[in-house]
Amino acid sequence: MSEASLGPGLLRLGLIGSPNSGKTTIFNALTGLRAKVGNYPGVTVERREGELEIDGRRVRVIDLPGTYSLTPISPDEAVVGRVIAGELGPAPDALLLVADACTLDRSLLMIAQVLRRGVPTCLVLTMTDELHARGGVLDLACLERALGIPVRGVVGHRGLGLAALRPLLAHPESWSRPHLLPPEPAEERAGWAASVLASALTRRPGPSRSSEAIDRVVLHPLAGTLLFGTVMVVFFQLIFAWAVPAMNAIDAGVGWAGGFVHAALPPGLLADFLADALIAGVGSVIVFLPQIVLLFTLLCLLEDVGYMARAAFLIDRVMGRIGLEGRSFVSLLSSYACAVPGIMATRTIPSPRHRLLTILVAPLMTCSARLPVYALLIAAFVPPVAVAGPLRLQGLVLLGLYLLGALSALAVAAVFGRTLMRGESLPFYMELPPYRWPTAKLVVTQVWGSARAFLRRAGTVILTVSIVLWCLLTFPRTPAPPGATAAEARRHSLEHSLAGRTGRALEPWLAPLGFDWKIGVGLLASLAAREVIVATLAQIYAATDDETSLRDALRRDADPRTGRRIYTPATVASLLVFFVFALQCMSTIAVMKRETNSWRWPAFAFGYLLALAYAASFATHRLVTALGGGP
Amino acid sequence: MSRAEAPTPTASGAVPLASLGPGACGLVESVDSSTPVGRRLADLGFLPRTQVRVLRRAPLGDPIEYELRGYRLCMRRAEAARVLVVPVDPRTPPSP
């Protein structure tokens, strides 16, 4: 066949395989860092495509979600079959089927299903080095004859065999096709698989001795549990501690850029807009980047090594009790640092129901953005007295807030799982792959992909909301009274802005919680990000950036009519509880939208958390008032 | 096909896979393939005459780790109860 008859058209190649088959490594090796990420309509499955050129022909590789079967048991799983059938865009011209050579016995059950689709198919066997190391002998020529399709062996992470694979990919019309299709019923497929295996697998691979030895420790009831605890504490600590210098640097950079704009431009709307809306808005997005990069690097390493499946195996029982599963644990733990990467980490959960439940409760885990708010209020209003030994009241209050968040997340998951999201979950099953060395290239590719996706998708939403919030806090502009200092002028303009007026208008709603209009404005501003309330209160109290003076201003603030203190113990407790529950973080909302592929779930999460925050704050205010801590 | 879920042996001596302890082996007799979950278990390799070995339970008793068809998989008791196996001597070499 001549080159010309192939036509200049784009060749679509569907990449299909089960989880842990090395499919992602093959995808990255073929397409490099040029993958385009999107969503399929109506489901939460990510759509990844990448292009390459072979022999002057453009080839688009469509990475299909990993699956063990073409018989779907959820809408998300049905995506694979629908893409092959051409129901979601043009059907692929050919399929590249990736299977782990060591699990060929099981993989043949799906290979049979794929062959029955009648699309030109080429089988790529990965981990052929591991097969040999475990004493297995596989005759690829025999396998080709038995299946009737081209078969190539590769060692994906070392790039072996890929050079021989590439030229083949451009010419699927020349691939051999099976003379006889495999049978459909599962039991007959098993017989077919056994006969294929008998002709090609000269010697079965033995068990992976090193993995068995490692698992005797890692999955040991005592040693394994201790190791699990250690890994999780270190993991949590690293995300918290290691990300802080980078986050501070970004914060300082954003502050410097804002200051530069103010210094370089004449004071006025343009400078304010550039510095306070654009630069601060972009800054509020990229400040999460260090945590996202760090978290995904750690997650990727643990996943690629094979520990993540073990951790999920150990903790599944506990998570199962509240209607989640083992893999939810990792995501919820990550949400302690920040719900954004935590929600992105739910992609490893195959059951849509478990995944959605995890996403909905992740914002309840005490993220690092709550810390500045808690720190300000606790430092200002909780006396630094010792309770027992080295335990101090301030630390205990902080610990209590962390526990309240975590317990609420578990309780809400249990309630939603039994009411709102009833119905049968997908069965829980999980492969425990052999331990493998992670490859730097794969980790870098995956981390880079996640960071880029976050910046691009979340960035647009966050920037828009930042601009809207800035407008609310700035307009309409009212001239400051003559002789006012710059700080007083800022307070005056804030008080008469749309946000200030809204705060006043909201007062009847806020009064039952013990909040005045100033706290109302702070809460409105904190819809962008929780910690923004600190800066907003500082502006309202015309305080300098020195935290001590804001603390004093809060302590001194009194109602001008009655002379009563605003921040009574009841109000402070109520405000702290409000922050435990409310979803004041547009980054989280944007990521929920991205991961669930609809506005429905972020809207629901925002609504239920707001209702919960309001009810809990109201109850707290009443309770503390009854105990004598009221106005 | 028997739909027995309790660990009482069927006529052929088959018991639910969930009732086997660590170290035990069984040959799959049947999987309830009338449900989506049962069909998925079949696609995962739980097919008649497949040898399944119980490796271990998680520290809290659930899930349970199995070895079959040259790979390792864990699932909860609820899923393992849907697979009926005939216990065999663990020393017999695997012959799917």
What CATH number corresponds to the domain at position B33? 2.30.30.90
Name the band, by pLDDT with cuts 50, 70 and 90, for residue A547. low
Range A369-393 average pLDDT: 82
- DSSP letter string, B61-85: S-SEEEEETTEEEEE-HHHHTTEEE
- DSSP letter string, A258-317: HHHHHHHS-SSHHHHIIIIIIIHHHHHHHTTHHHHHHHHHHHHHHHHHTHHHHHHHHHHH
The answer to the question of residue B94 being in a domain is no
Q: In whole angstroms, give the CA distance from residue B62 to residue B75.
A: 8
Each residue's pLDDT tens digit, A237-265: 776 677 778 888 888 888 898 889 888 98
Chain A residues whose beta carbon lies within 8 Å of the beta carbon of residue B75: 427-430
Give the pLDDT of residue A360: 95
User: Which DSSP category does A456 fall into?
Assistant: I
The answer to the question of residue B7 being in a domain is no
User: Which DSSP category does B94 fall into?
Assistant: P
Find out whether the peptide bond into A476 is cis, omega within 30 degrees of 0. Answer: yes
Helix (H) or strand (E) holding A83: helix A75-84
Chain B residues whose beta carbon lies within 8 Å of the beta carbon of residue A314: 58-59
A289 versus A457: which is more confidently predicted?
A: A289
pLDDT of A623 > 60? The answer is: yes
Q: For A190, which residue in chain B has the nearest alpha carbon?
A: B47
The SS3 call for residue A430 is strand
Q: In whole angstroms, give the CA distance from residue A448 to residue A296.
A: 9
CA-based nearest residue to A50, from A39, A40, A38, A36: A36
ipTM rounded to 2 decimals:
0.87
Range B70-83 average pLDDT: 92
The answer to the question of residue B10 being in a domain is no
Q: A69-73, A169-173, A501-505, A560-564: which range is least confident on average?
A: A560-564
Q: In whole angstroms, give the CA distance from residue A382 to residue A393.
A: 7
A532 versus A224: which is more confidently predicted?
A: A224
C-alpha dihedral sign at A517, A521, A523, A524: positive
Each residue's pLDDT tens digit, B9-37: 666 789 999 999 999 999 999 998 788 88
pLDDT of B5 > 70? The answer is: no
Name the band, by pLDDT with cuts 50, 70 and 90, for residue A548. low
CA-based nearest residue to B73, from B83, B81, B82, B63: B63
The answer to the question of residue B84 being in a domain is yes
Give the pLDDT of residue A425: 66
Contact check, Cβ <8 Å, B37/A204: no
**With contact defined as beta carbons under 8 Å apart, do A101 and A125 qualify?**
yes
The answer to the question of residue B64 being in a domain is yes
Q: How far is A107 from chain B (nearest CA, A)?
A: 9
Contact check, Cβ <8 Å, A427/B76: yes
The SS3 call for residue A57 is strand
Each residue's pLDDT tens digit, A182-227: 998 888 999 999 999 999 988 989 888 899 999 999 999 999 999 9
Give residue limits of the domains in chain A.
3-206
Query: What residues make up the domain containing B71?
Result: 15-88
Chain B residues whose beta carbon lies within 8 Å of the beta carbon of residue A316: 58, 62-63, 74, 76
H-assigned helices in A159-278: 162-169, 186-200, 209-218, 223-264, 269-272
Distances (CA, A) of A334 to A305, A340, A368, A402: 18, 9, 11, 14
Could you tell me which residues are beta bridge partners of residue A121?
A: A95
Give the pLDDT of residue A239: 66
Q: A304-308, A321-325, A335-339, A362-366: which range is least confident on average?
A: A335-339
Chain B residues whose beta carbon lies within 8 Å of the beta carbon of residue A204: 70
Q: In total, how many domains does chain B have?
A: 1
Q: How far is B91 from chain A (nearest CA, A)?
A: 15
Q: How far is A99 from chain B (nearest CA, A)?
A: 13
**With contact defined as beta carbons under 8 Å apart, do A308 and A477 qualify?**
no
pLDDT of A522 > 70? The answer is: yes
Q: For A205, which residue in chain B has the nearest alpha carbon?
A: B70
Nearest CB neighbour to A429, from listed B33, B49, B75: B75
Q: How far is B18 from chain A (nearest CA, A)?
A: 14
Q: How far is A74 from chain B (nearest CA, A)?
A: 10
Q: Which CATH superfamily is domain A3-206 in?
A: P-loop containing nucleotide triphosphate hydrolases (3.40.50.300)
Chain B residues whose beta carbon lies within 8 Å of the beta carbon of residue A187: 42, 47-48
Q: Does A110 lie at the interface with B, CB-CB under 8 angstroms? A: yes
Each residue's pLDDT tens digit, A101-112: 999 999 999 999
For β-strands A151-153 and A121-126, DSSP reports them as parallel
* Mean pLDDT for chain A overall: 85
The SS3 call for residue A564 is coil
pTM for this prediction: 0.81
Count CB atoms within 10 A of the CB of residue A608.
16
CA-based nearest residue to A67, from B76, B14, B47, B40: B40
Q: For A21, which residue in chain B has the nearest alpha carbon?
A: B71
